[in-house]
Amino acid sequence: MQEVIVDCALYRRGRRAERPRDFSAALRRARAEGDAFLWIGLHEPTEEEFNRVTRDFGLHPLAVEDSLHAHQRPKLEVYADSLFLVLKPVAYEGDGGRLSTGELMVFVGEAFVLTVRHGEANPLGPVRRRLEEDPDVLRHGPTAVMYAVSDTVVDHYLDVAAALHTDLEGLEAAVFAEDARLGAGTASRIYEFKRRALEFRRATVPLTDAVTRLTGAGVPFVHQDSRLFFRDVADHLSRVNEQVESIDRLLTDILSAYLAQMGVRQNDDMRKISAWAAMFAVPTAIAGVYGMNFDHMPELHWVWGYPATILLMVTVCVVLFRIFKRRDWF
């Protein structure tokens, strides 16, 4: 159980008070005091472990099911006793490495915030420590935690987008290099990058609606003074989505350029093959005619007939070669 609960604390007036042993009693005490709240962080809990922690939190069964089974798209659900926000943190190794997404669920209700994390991307320890160092922000309660978590996730999106842009520039340079050796490996790199961009888009684009709702009025458990902060998150997310669109367009252009280059190279290869075939066709035709063994053929009984025929073949091949070379077929 201790491994599932990453951290747990009761906060009073923005300062960490204690780690409660009885979550239900701590939640009742926080609600009674009015200026306190309980923050519990869980990592990949089982259904039994989750129910033991949240027995008296009043969480909606659908939200509980989503938080346990993961594989959700970013969204914001409003229930009678809580808000349920789903985020998808992203980790990117860079240099053509793997892009992985985790899932982070945030429950916010009266005097409590509950975070459930799946995967290793964007652990919340640094977020909690940063908030604990700034009591003026943390005293705003669960809303401050939701803002800090979403702001951290979105700011990390900016770093991932910048890293993807850097790697994409390297891929673009490799495709357009004059001495580039294009082949199946290049196509695989482009499609692999396109898959990463699509996975990144799935994490960022659906979150726009959720953050936009948090900036407006009428969302319970969200203090009106926090709307300005969520607008900042929405602005950063808008920048991320613009970069995602830019990456996708650039990938499409690179793929089109790659396919065009492959077509040009295939045409060059076909021209070279055609030129060589034409050069070999002439001696083949001459040799074929003289190989018919007719009695009456030009120069058949002439002493210099064989050397003359060979010279004719070489001359025609040299002329054709010079013609094709002048037309840049070689």
Stated as kind and residue range, the H or E segment containing 106 is strand 103-109
Amino acid at 113: V
* 261: helix, strand or coil: helix
pLDDT-based confidence at residue 1 (cuts at 50, 70, 90): very low
List, in order, residues 6 or more apart from 258 with CB less than 8 Å away. 175, 182, 186, 187, 190
| The pLDDT value given to residue 298 | 64
pLDDT-based confidence at residue 224 (cuts at 50, 70, 90): confident
Domain boundaries, the chain: 5-261, 263-326
Q: List the strands of the sheet with 5-12, edge to edge.
A: 15-18, 5-12, 36-43, 112-118, 103-109, 82-87, 75-78
% of residues, the chain, pLDDT over 70? 89
**Class in CATH terms, 5-261:** alpha beta
For residue 158, is pLDDT > 70?
yes
Q: Stretch 263-275: mean pLDDT, rounded?
A: 75
pLDDT-based confidence at residue 126 (cuts at 50, 70, 90): confident
Each residue's pLDDT tens digit, 85-111: 999 999 887 666 788 888 999 999 999
Q: Do 48 and 68 contact (CB within 8 A), yes or no?
A: no
Choice between 61 and 179, residue whose per-residue pLDDT is larger: 61
Query: Is 298 exposed, middle or buried, given 0-12, 13-18 or 19+ CB atoms closer than 10 A?
Result: exposed
pTM of the model: 0.77
For residue 21, is pLDDT > 60?
yes
Q: What is the DSSP letter of 221?
A: T
The CATH label, of 3.50.50.60, 1.20.58.340, 1.10.3720.10, 3.20.20.140, for the domain at 263-326 is 1.20.58.340
From residue 23, alpha-carbon distances to 5, 145, 153, 252 in Å are 12, 18, 27, 52
Identify the CA nearest to 198 among candidates 90, 69, 66. 90
For residue 268, is pLDDT > 90?
no
How many angstroms separate the CA atoms of 261 and 206, rounded? 36
Q: Stretch 320-330: mean pLDDT, rounded?
A: 73
pLDDT-based confidence at residue 180 (cuts at 50, 70, 90): low
Place of tokens 């306190």: 36
